[in-house]
Amino acid sequence: MSCIKVMSKKKSEFPLIIKHRNATVTIYKIRRKDTSTGFIYSVSWIDANRKRIQKQLVKLADAKALAREKAEFLSSGRQEAADLDRSQLEELVFAKRITKDIPLLSAIQEWKKAYEMTGGNIIPAAQAWQDMNNTKMRKLKVEEAVKMFMDAKLKEGREVKTSYRLTLPRFSTDFEGSYISRISTLQIQEWLNRNFGHPATRNSHRKRLVTFFRYMRAQGFLPRNAQTEAELTSRAKEDALDIGITDAVTYRKLLKFIQDRHPHYLAALVLAGHCGMRRNEIHNQNWNDVSLERKFVRVSAAKPGTPAKRLVTLCDTAIEWLMLCPSRIGEVCPGTTLVIDRIRFIGKKNGLDLPANCFRHSYISCRVAATGEIDRTALEAGTSAKMIHKHYRELVTPEEGTEWFEVGPRDEGEKVVSFEGISTK
């Protein structure tokens, strides 16, 4: 049993010396008017760094208890522990109870490593790990997941022919037999890089995969509290949009050539140049959504993410061209060929300068220049005013814009009427 001696120079006089083996702690009695007794007691000792530490207490009994505690720690060579106060010692005891059979030092070391690895998000990371490895999480193979997703979109009335069907069946074939929860970010990244070289095309397919994986997460087949593997893939850096346009003279020549040699393509070209419709929208357009009497086209299958069934105004020259089409029943472009690509091929083969997507680009540029109506042009073209401000303004003059919509089947110089509000000769 340890022996702690309390010594003083004279009985009942201070300072009191508390000794335990070779350790000494001193208690000083100091006058203090703001206490009930008129005194305080200062407990003093030397720490491991040879620095004097003092703690002041009101009651002598508390001072003696603290002094004994510090003297015992100091005599055992545990100087750092001796510097701890009672509340800190209680925290250590409570921490040991929490870790139970796990050594406290090991627990702290593992916590520190986990904290650094997760950037402080230990609980969300642990939850994600549990979700990923939880045997209760529903499992589904990729081909089954794709079918579930596509069926759901069709039931919602979503158009999938020109969007998800271009991506997911191919993804399903390449990952057939794999559980969707086991497909990694690296695998998706490599699949995108291997199959899609053009940055914009790659990003379009990535966007569809992100939507697909988020849907499967919502259905309980992926961890609910973490980003999906598709979301963690990187976007490809896209080059600045190259706005290639053509002029009214070239457009007139192409319309005349198509009318004479390939009249079954005429409607598609008019919808591209006079209405600015996208090639996929033209390919899925129906004649019953084209009203020559009311002077508008209702887009039968708009691009996903743009207003469905939007209306596009038909100018008078567009109506004149469409009246010359050999058939105005059923599909505008029957068959499987992307007609606009075919038209560009024919025109370029005959010496016409027709940059990629030039009909839509020319329509937007010329309509903005001729009317100044950026918001309305954006609405009818299925884009945004922000995109028009960024890419299409000041590409043509107002005169060139008006000339574009004067391109009709009549001989040049005859009077034609274009958009409402645009005066023509």
Residue scoring higher pLDDT (408 or 13): 408
Measured CA to CA, the distance from residue 16 to residue 341 in angstroms comes to: 101
Whether 377 and 290 share a structural domain: yes
Question: Number of folded domains in the chain?
Answer: 4
- Could you tell me where the DSSP H helices lie in 42-196? 60-75, 79-82, 86-99, 104-118, 122-133, 142-155, 168-174, 185-195
Q: How far is CA 12 from CA 9, 17, 56, 145, in A?
A: 9, 12, 19, 87
pLDDT for the residue 302: 66
Same domain, yes or no, for 321 and 389? Answer: yes
Same domain, 29 and 91: yes
Report the C-alpha gap between 66 and 55 in whole angstroms: 9
Q: E-strand spans in 247-368?
A: 290-291, 296-298, 311-313
Q: Would you state the pLDDT for residue 412?
A: 57
User: What pLDDT does 417 receive?
Assistant: 42
* Residue-wise pLDDT tens digits, 332-376: 988 766 899 999 999 999 999 999 899 999 999 999 999 999 999
Q: Is residue 388 part of a domain?
A: yes
Comparison of pLDDT for 161 and 177, the residue scoring more = 177
Looking at residue 424, its pLDDT comes to 34
| Listed ranges 71-80, 123-132, 249-258; the one with the highest mean pLDDT | 249-258
**Same-domain status, 157 and 198:** yes
271 and 346 housed in the same domain: yes
CB 222 within 8 A of CB 259: no
pLDDT at 421: 38
Question: Does residue 83 carry a pLDDT above 90?
Answer: no
Query: Quick one: 184 and 272 in the same domain?
Result: no
Identify whether 123 is part of a domain.
yes
Does 384 reside within a domain? Answer: yes
How far apart CA 279 and CA 233 sit, in angstroms, is 29
146 and 111: one domain?
no
Q: Give the pLDDT confidence score for residue 389 in this predicted structure.
A: 85
Residue 388 belongs to a domain with what CATH number? 1.10.443.10
- pLDDT mean over 87-104: 80
pLDDT of residue 287: 95
Q: Domain check: are 352 and 323 in the same one?
A: yes
254: left (phi over 0), alpha (psi -120 to 50) or beta: alpha
- Cα–Cα–Cα angle for 165, 167, 172, rounded to 5 degrees: 95
Examine the domain organization and report whether 252 and 390 are in the same domain. Answer: yes
**From CA 64, how far away is CA 70, in angstroms rounded?**
10
Q: Which residues constitute the domain of residue 115?
A: 102-133
Residue 418 forms part of a structural domain = no
- Between 84 and 401, the more confident residue is 401
Last residue of a domain, one of 196, 218, 240: 218
339 occurs within a structural domain: yes
> What was the pLDDT predicted at 416?
43
Does 239 fall in a domain?
Answer: no
pLDDT band at 327 (very low <50, low <70, confident <90, very high): confident
Q: Sorting pLDDT into bands at 50, 70 and 90, what band is 263?
A: very high
Tell me: the pLDDT tens digits for 192-231? Answer: 999 998 888 999 999 999 999 999 999 989 987 788 999 9
Pick the closest to residue 226 from 116, 111, 129 (CA basis).
Answer: 129
| Position 307 confidence tier, pLDDT thresholds 50, 70, 90 | low
Query: Three-state DSSP class for 141?
Result: strand
- Does 112 lie in the same domain as 202? no
**Per-residue pLDDT reduced to its tens digit, 266-294:** 999 999 999 999 988 999 899 999 999 99
Collect all residues with Cβ–Cβ distance below 8 Å to 205 and sequence separation of at least 6. 166, 167, 192, 195, 196
Q: Are residues 392 and 288 in the same domain?
A: yes
